[in-house]
Amino acid sequence: MPDHYYQRPEPPADPLVRIEHADRFFANTGAVIRHGGSRAFYAPGSDSIQMPELQSFRDAESYVAVLGHECVHWAGAPHRLNRDLSRYHKDLTERAREELIADIGACFLCADLDIVPELEPRPDHASYVASWLKLLDGDRRAIFQAAAHAQRAVAYLHDLQPLAKCRQEAA
């Protein structure tokens, strides 16, 4: 093959700098976080989180917000908080409910970690918002239930932190 197929791409001029306290927080959860590809998702079968590389994001804060979203999904697994994720791929209402929980939880985590992301609008954002509006229009309690589930997930993630264990032992 011609030589240009073997050339490595130039590294970005200003590589993103990781946010250490956020990296430490997510590492302390024990979640298996894999990097690569172009999509972020929680994979229940392997009980792992797949994330694009940090450099794929506009800034490190956006990376943390997306990772927080996926960690809220991870916290809902049957052997953790036991949110029923079995109908996620079969029922659009259940998918909307779970995505609302994950987004609210990611907002809570970003606030707790003192991170302010400026997420770029993505094509799927419009469909997410449309599904949330449909869910919220049909169920007046949905927002409160989603916020409660999000808070439980965030509390669970905080309880996995070393300082949380010290505080529990002292009490």
Parse the chain into domains and list their residue ranges.
3-162
Please give the C-alpha separations between residue 21 and each of 25, 77, 114, 125, 138, in angstroms, as whole numbers. 6, 25, 10, 28, 39
Cα 124 to Cα 96: distance, rounded to the nearest angstrom = 12
Q: What is the residue-wise DSSP string for 150-162? A: HHHHHHHHHHTSH
25-66 residue pLDDT tens: 999 999 999 999 999 999 999 999 999 999 999 899 999 999
64-92 residue pLDDT tens: 999 999 999 999 999 999 998 887 778 77
Cα 170 to Cα 163: distance, rounded to the nearest angstrom = 11
Q: Are 55 and 16 in contact (CB under 8 A)?
A: yes
96-124 residue pLDDT tens: 889 889 999 999 999 999 998 876 665 56
Residue with tokens 């990296």, as numbered in its chain: 23
Q: Are 98 and 85 in contact (CB under 8 A)?
A: yes
Question: Using CA atoms in the order 62, 113, 79, 37, what is the torsion angle rounded to 10 degrees?
Answer: 20
Provide the pLDDT confidence category of residue 142 given band limits of 50, 70 and 90.
Answer: confident
Whether this prediction's pTM lies above 0.85 is answered by no
